[in-house]
Amino acid sequence: MKHIITVILAFAFTAASAQRVGGSCEGCEAVFEYGSKKLTSIDTLPDFKEPGPKLEISGTIYQSDGKTPAKGVILYIYHTDQKGVYPQKGNETGWAKRHGYLRGWIKTNADGKYKFYTLRPASYPNSRAPQHIHPVVKEPNRNEYYIDEYLFADDPFLDEKEKEKENQQQRGGSGIITLTKKQDGTWVGKRDIILGMNIPDY
């Protein structure tokens, strides 16, 4: 009897592990492309020391209850450079061929905290697309999925596109952040993320 119960529990665990959430997610597997890098709750993207508007974005990632900090969640981010393109050095492999090298990986600490430093990205060339940062999350025991992009409340293109605001799916919560400026000129923003919020099949 004990053996049968063990087999049933093992099957149930396997089935639960196999369940995918979030729907289609092209390029989300890039969340695993950090190689031998030791992930911490803070990351600095390669462009931070270059000329441009410096950004410091932080927040807390919560479990689906919106209250309990989520430990060990990987947050993968990537964005355009100051010309609005995803820059490459020519030796890219994997999804870096599409996402470029301005990308980073953060793993939340016991308090669910995360922070990253980068430059504010530019809009796509010859477009009126709002500036944005792409995020993907990978929580323990679930597959990776995307959440709403980081957008900036003061972006004139975002203001022009009321539909853009209305079309936000609120995946993980709102991605529109308000920036304030520190004395050293760095723009600071905060975004908390709730795992599973508006994520299909979660």
pLDDT grade, residue 158 (50/70/90)?
A: confident
Structure tokens at 76: 């993968």
pLDDT grade, residue 166 (50/70/90)?
A: low
Q: Which residues contact 7 (CB under 8 A, 6 or more apart)?
A: none
Burial class for 113, CB neighbours closer than 10 Å (0-12, 13-18, 19+): middle
Q: For residue 156, give the amino acid letter.
A: P
For each of the domains in the chain, give its residue range(s) and CATH number, in order of start: 35-194 (2.60.130.10)
What pLDDT is recorded for position 168?
82
What pLDDT is recorded for position 2?
47
Q: What is the pTM of this model?
A: 0.88
